[in-house]
Structure 1
């Protein structure tokens, strides 16, 4: 399963972080500057593999294990992988839009919030009971606003919105005859996110 592969790779990368100190963080963590000053847009995705502590990575991977299995069985491997990556990208763009342009972030939380956003959209269409998930989302979003929490609510919010959009695309193009439209909409969303990140980062950094 893609879910287990992501978990395995992320844990290996965390071990490498532990062994190499700040090297991987310096090379692959995300900052809005990556769109303008250093021109390293891939950091918007490579940062998903990095984590700041053992608790950080274990909590994220546990949540990925819970929601990943469900969504991968519903969507299939490739759609699930696309959802995870696009939601993670949207989380990074959330940092560009809502955070200080010199902020540094790392972690898979944006992508995981995206999985929850997609799950909400899909389950609403299926008529599932989402009360507990709404409470879980509200609590986790609120924690990001606590003073001293050092949690990127911007990435959480961006990932949640991005994941919900991908979930909506999947629902509206689920017929096999609309597969080309589905791919086109996903590609368009990716392009739109990168363009938004570049334009906002350029505007913000230019204003400093």
Structure 2
């Protein structure tokens, strides 16, 4: 190494003068060694320039957030939504776990008796247990029953939940479950029912309506609904057609509400229509209360 070369600081890292390098920081053009280099799409930069760049980005983000906060709510940019079907996965996991618990001797039987539905539990009296309108979705009659329902929930939920959003999807599922239980109470009083089939039928109904509204090909969904309808009424199927039809009808209604109230200015109307649907379903329970008490 020549004396001239060794005496030139530009041939050595400015942070480590004993390390020879010929790589320059793309911002300040100072020489940096391999340890001091941070790769970027435009080249490498030194630690000081990296810290300065990160500081500028944080200031810009804060300024942008402050600007957005001052804007009217209806003009603010939409937030990026998480497209993972978290509610779908949670429902599948909880339902499957409760089925496994239901297989335990003694304990499992008690869990099933606390969750399954019978119209007697929505009649006025000491046995009034309205939560069973929903908890019926958490218990199933067999491994095939729960497996098919959870497979359908997983398949439908992965498409519907990102499209609707988590809270709308959950509202659809719960309202459909209530719709199935209500029709059982109206048309099959005293019948014990279990399963999430009513809620799953609601998802199918909503997907059919929403698909039609956005111009999607819903032939496969229509065929699936038709096949399920035929299977439901097969002799000896031991299927509660009331729960299926009730859930499906509510799913069609909720899907129609979602399709017709998509605009931001209609969000309050959408919420009130969902509340009205829930109130209407619960009001229908007054019919069996008057007829059978």
Where structure 1 has 5 or more consecutive residues not aligned to the other structure, the ranges are none
TM-score by length of 1: 0.94
Which residue pairs with 1:9 in the alignment? 94
Give the whole-Å Cα distance in 2 for the aligned partners of 1:13 and 1:167. 29
Q: Tell me if structure 2 keeps the 8 A contact 1:86–1:162.
A: yes
Which residue pairs with 2:109 in the alignment? 22
Q: Tell me if structure 2 keeps the 8 A contact 1:52–1:107.
A: yes
Give the whole-Å Cα distance in 2 for the aligned partners of 1:127 and 1:98. 35
Equivalenced residue count is 204
Which residue pairs with 1:202 in the alignment? 289
Q: Which has the higher contact order (CA 8 A, sep 6+)?
A: 1
Deviation readout 1:7-66 (Å, 9 max, x if unpaired) = 000011101111123211211111111111421111000111111111100000000011
Q: How far does residue 176 in structure 1 lie from its aligned partner after superposition?
A: 1.1
Larger helix share, 1 or 2: 1
Give the whole-Å Cα distance in 1 for the aligned partners of 2:133 and 2:114. 12
Which residue pairs with 1:34 in the alignment? 121
> Is 1:181 aligned to 2:266, yes or no?
no
Greater Rg by CA: 2
Which residue pairs with 2:167 in the alignment? 78
Give the whole-Å Cα distance in 2 for the aligned partners of 1:5 and 1:27. 21
- In the TM superposition, what are the counterparts of 1:1-208 in structure 2 within 5 Å? 1-19=86-104, 20-36=107-123, 37=125, 38-99=127-188, 101-197=189-285, 199-206=286-293
SS at match of 2:239: coil
Give the whole-Å Cα distance in 1 for the aligned partners of 2:186 and 2:242. 8
TM-score by length of 2: 0.68
Deviation readout 1:124-181 (Å, 9 max, x if unpaired) = 1111222222121111112121222110111000000001111111111111111111
Give the whole-Å Cα distance in 2 for the aligned partners of 1:121 and 1:134. 10
Give the whole-Å Cα distance in 1 for the aligned partners of 2:269 and 2:221. 30
Q: How far does residue 204 in structure 1 lie from its aligned partner after superposition?
A: 3.6
SS at match of 1:51: coil
